[in-house]
């Protein structure tokens, strides 16, 4: 692992891991689940969530639409009797992925052996997110319009 990589705040972990393909995340999580006897505190599940919005004029709540949600909550048991928990809630419909990320979350948060591999995947996800951000910024810059020229064109017509 690149030891110069600073692990971001825990609130960013799911976003960074989610930027990667699910396969390497699941492979790592499966190995860690066996090593730490992962126990589901709630069964991993997926479904649809409603996105509510409050009308500013009347104060009524209405729903903008549905979005896929998956969540998991696990407890990991170490050989020395320590227990740690990990959780994940994703805007995704893959409950298995949510469970894998919950396992990685618990291992990395507690800095259990194997956390360096989870941190390496974070670094890879951060690189993907940075590239996506760069591409979005380039697209925005390419579509920026300079409206200041419109005002001067109208003035020439009046003469």
Q: Which pLDDT belongs to residue 95? A: 97
pLDDT tens-place string over residues 112-122: 999 999 999 99
> Is 51 within the bounds of a domain?
no
Boundaries of domain holding 137: 10-42+71-141
> Is 59 within the bounds of a domain?
no
Q: Which pLDDT belongs to residue 132? A: 93
> Is 87 within the bounds of a domain?
yes
d(CA 75, CA 94): 20
pTM: 0.81
> Is 157 within the bounds of a domain?
no
Which token pair is 80?
């020395």
pLDDT class of 142 with cuts at 50, 70, 90? confident
> Is 98 within the bounds of a domain?
yes
> Is 159 within the bounds of a domain?
no
Say whether pLDDT at 11 is over 70: yes
């Amino acid at each position: 692992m690149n030891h110069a990589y600073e692990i971001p705040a825990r609130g960013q972990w799911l976003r960074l891991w989610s930027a990667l393909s699910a396969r390497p995340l699941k492979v790592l999580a499966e190995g860690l689940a066996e090593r730490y006897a992962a126990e589901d505190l709630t069964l991993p599940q997926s479904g649809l969530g409603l996105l509510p919005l409050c009308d500013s004029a009347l104060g009524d709540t209405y729903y903008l639409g549905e979005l896929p949600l998956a969540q998991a909550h696990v407890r990991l048991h170490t050989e020395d009797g320590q227990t740690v928990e990990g959780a994940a809630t994703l805007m995704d419909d893959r409950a298995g992925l949510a469970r894998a990320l919950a396992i990685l979350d618990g291992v990395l948060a507690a800095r259990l052996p194997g956390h360096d591999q989870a941190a390496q995947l974070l670094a890879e996800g951060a690189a993907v997110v940075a590239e996506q951000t760069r591409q979005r910024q380039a697209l925005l810059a390419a579509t920026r319009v300079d409206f200041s020229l419109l005002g001067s064109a109208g003035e020439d017509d009046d003469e």
